[in-house]
Amino acid sequence: MYYLPRLKEIRLLKNMKQKDVCELLNMKQSQYSRYESGEDEMKIGTLIEICQALNISADYILGLSDEPLLLNDDR
């Protein structure tokens, strides 16, 4: 799955641990880890929530764009 490396890449670029993302999403770390590793496929709603939490466009995560566009500038 193409989005997996980018999902982790963005998280690391933002100096966040999985635990940090999970706190924003109110999700167990074990579940988020399975998304990042590709063990579980995420629903589109989960992808949207992750993009909002990381302030990054879904187009970048999904590989539709090579520019990691921010959703907004106030985060």
CATH number of this structure's domain 3-62: 1.10.260.40
pLDDT attached to residue 10: 92
pLDDT attached to residue 63: 87
Helix (H/G/I), strand (E/B), else coil: 35? helix
pLDDT < 70 positions in the chain: 1-2, 71-75
List, in order, residues 6 or more apart from 2 with CB less than 8 Å away: 62, 63
pLDDT attached to residue 75: 43
pLDDT attached to residue 4: 82
pLDDT attached to residue 13: 92
List the one residue out of 53, 27, 52 whose CA is nearest residue 40: 27
Distance CA 52, CA 20 (A): 14
pLDDT attached to residue 1: 58
Distance CA 74, CA 36 (A): 26
> Hey, what's the torsion of the CAs at 58, 20, 23, 30, to 10 degrees?
80
